[in-house]
Structure 1
Amino acid sequence: MTVRPQSSVFTGDSVTLRCDIYDGGVTRWWYYWYKVGSTSVVSERQEHTFRSVTESDAGKYFCYGTETEGSRRSQRSDEVTLTVSERPKPKVTIKPDHHVFRGETVTLRCDIYDGGVTSWRYNWYKDGSTSVFSERQEHTFSSVTESDAGKYFCYGTETEGSHSSHLSDEVTLTVSDCLKPTLTVRPQSPVFTGDSVTLRCELDKITGWEFLWSKDSNTESPEAETKTISRVKVSDGGEYRCRARRGGYYTDYSKPVAVTIHVPRAVLSVSPQKWLTEGDPVTLICEVNGSSTGWTFSWFTETFSSESRNDYELLSDSSRGAGGKYTVSSADLNHTGVYVCRAERDKTAVYTTYSNTQPLWVTGVSPPVSLIISPSRTQHFTSVSLSLSCEDQSNSDGWTVRRYTDSGWLKDCSSFLRGSQTGSTCTIRSTVPSDTGVYWCQSESGENYHPVNITVHFGVILESPVHPVTEGNNLTLRCLYPYISPPNLRADFYKDGSLIQNQTTEMIIPTVSKSHEGFYYCKHPERGESLKSWISVRGSHSDSQISVLHILSSALAACPYLIVTVVLIYKCCRMRGKTPE
């Protein structure tokens, strides 16, 4: 008994069983085919063919023969096993991916998993073509181009046999132009020290890439697609870019992204201005790098320290300025002081440093103390003696002259380099430009009164009133120069940057009003220009109050004399009435 082509076949193959009885004495045989386990005759032909074998045809077969025209009978043949296996289906894989980029190395591989066949011949087809373009298990494009894109499939035939596989499923190879990843950073801005920064190199979900990162064009380092820097430092700032590689193929570089790390610093400003009259509104504005969102703000006043440093005292109503604006609707004398702010990031516990200082100077309508300055002006020459005294209506004890300079330091007179304090009088022996600042009187309990901005200048100065000018009075300004005698200059006078009078030795503004309040300076074409001085105008209602009080007090003081006079006149009249005729 023989089996053609072989006893191990795949479903769908054609298999022929043949029964040969070799005996010279018998010319013709009847053939009988049986399948082990069945009593039914499978076939009575010498050859039995399964045109398309199925797994149910598998089993053990045998045959025997009987003489056609006689009684002789052959022996039963040996059993032959027919094995029927499912026809294998190849699987096509593409490395590195189904979607590749021009210039990459791409490998197509055809795998046929069947233990019964030891060697296959592979046949590759593209886009339904009947032409075989490759007979290798792996076909490699060393530098793929767009023309290599398409649909591929394969099948296999047994190298030394008749087995063949199914056709594989089609697999699509897509070839695109050069790839360029997109680099993103979160948060975008602003980023502060202590924050966490995440950079992501995105490639549209195409897999199999290794990502390379560089900063400021330095050496690349392989990292994950997402790069997170926890608690960043200023040194982490720079220009980042990324690219990816797969095998020997590299993508283009991403567009560079600049990451700037700030030291978070609060910046304090004042609106509308720092020089106020009692009752004026004012707003302190605290921002972190131009923004107030995402921060919680605290507000402080700067206090004097005898240890040559300044301390900060938290305002009792600091939470009122949590949104970045601390507003005072009506300034009081006790609002005079030097302010700073600080901010905290809500979620990351990142604190700013203390902001720059911003002073508020509130001039009272009727302050309890006056700062008397000699010479009586706000601008002074260098190398002269300057005296400042705090005087109130009762006595001058308990008052101290304090100074605030643009360098941000609060000092008392005894800490000046050339200053000395005697009682409530501060004396500066020889003025220098660094003596420029705001001076005021401070009580023993810490209350601040009567701030005056004093400047010391080498050249031209403006002579202007020390104290606010009362509405209705005259304002007189002069331009002085220390190296001529007399020191008066013929100069131009300006208010808030605009020329208001030119070429005069003395400018007089009669009947001043609130509109005359502003910054004044003078300018000489050869000697130069003075610094600016703030001139405030005080309402006249205080004078009216004082006049009314004076009238009332005078009337009350005259009452006893008036009563005595009336009594005397009454008695005199009665006596005259009783005189006999």
Structure 2
Amino acid sequence: MITIKCEIQGGENTEWQYEWRTTSSKTPPTHSEYNISSASFSYNGQYWCKGRRDVFFSTAWSDAFTLKVSNKPRPTITADRRTIPAGGNATLSCSVGSYNEWKYFWFRRVSVFTEIQVIRNKEPDQMITVTQGGIYYCKGGRGNPVFFTEDSDPITIEKRVSNKAVVSLEPSWPLIFSGEKITVRCQIYLGRRTEWEYEWSKPDSSTVLANNASIDVNASVISSGSYRCMGKNKQELYSVTEWSDVITLTVSGNRPKSSISADSRVLPEGDTVTLTCSVTPSTPGWSYYWYRGKKTSEPLMMAEVVLHSDGQIGVSQEGDYWCRGGRGNPVYYTDYSDVISIKQTVRNRPAVTLHPNWPEVYSRETITLKCEIPGEDTEWVYEWATSSSHQPPNQNEYKINSVSTSHRGQYWCKGRMRSAQQNSTMWSASFQLKIVYSE
């Protein structure tokens, strides 16, 4: 709202009639004042006026007065800092061009979803100090009634709170394998009475807002990298914690492999063989699953084995064994190990006997060493071992037609089933052959 006045200098005591001329599309009244209740572009132009005292006497036309009506100005808002440290403040400034006749009005929103709050009215200075986070606006006003500028663009101010954010991995394994399920968790200390929203910074440089304090990661090579989090007060979203320290998730694209080993491939009668399962690369957290028989077998129950330690069992049955590792929930499995075969010795234990069973054997006598195995209904393949310089044949008898001192020594034998040669007896007890030399 403005008023254009026609003032005649030196003629204040004279009654004048007024005339107006203008290049605008409006026609001023014949009064000394032209009141414009709401300026618009149609009032743009030059204005002249003159005064007439009577028919024969008038003033000259005034110099032209140019009225320029423009769009509402939009003030500029600035801040000396966008983040208020704990216990600190920020200074905001609002400016409407180079004009100084404006007073300033300040507004704040707690979040984009809340109503605008008036925080300052008619500030004579264009700067204010704030101690809270939020979205801030300003606008200028002048005149009576007040004419307002447009609202400024919003400026976001965050306030750091003293609560500390800590990010962690669950499970916290140093090496993760592609396909495993990992939870990245954000914990806000000293903030139990505050409801938080969480902002995450992820390896792909994106930031994500979440209501939950954790994000679930289906591990892959592209999910490797640094994670960090911060907390935002749900009542005042621009009251935020500092960013947590970074935690690094390392993901291998190769599935780990299990290896199996045994302290013996032969299972003695009434005894056990110890099997060991290990995972390569070596990382913590594995449980071990044992299998026997065909590839379609279910894992062995603990009642079927003797548990020595995590990764070691004792088995008392022969067969083909293999294993694999698993960890996490749901369980993530390694590849299967190779198969290892455990063979059981048969119950029969052979004995080496001398025929004829003389108490003394003299050189050049004829003798026979026999490998006798209980259970004559079984067909055997025989093996001999000796400390003498002669090697017996793979038969159940070793006939020596002319014995000599070179046949002295210990003799052992064992049998292997002809129909199932993976099954063998134990070695016999040693038999000592002593030769008495005679001329």
> What is the TM-score normalised by the length of structure 2?
0.48
TM normalised by structure 1 equals 0.38
If asked which structure has higher relative contact order (CA below 8 Å, sep 6+), I would say: 2
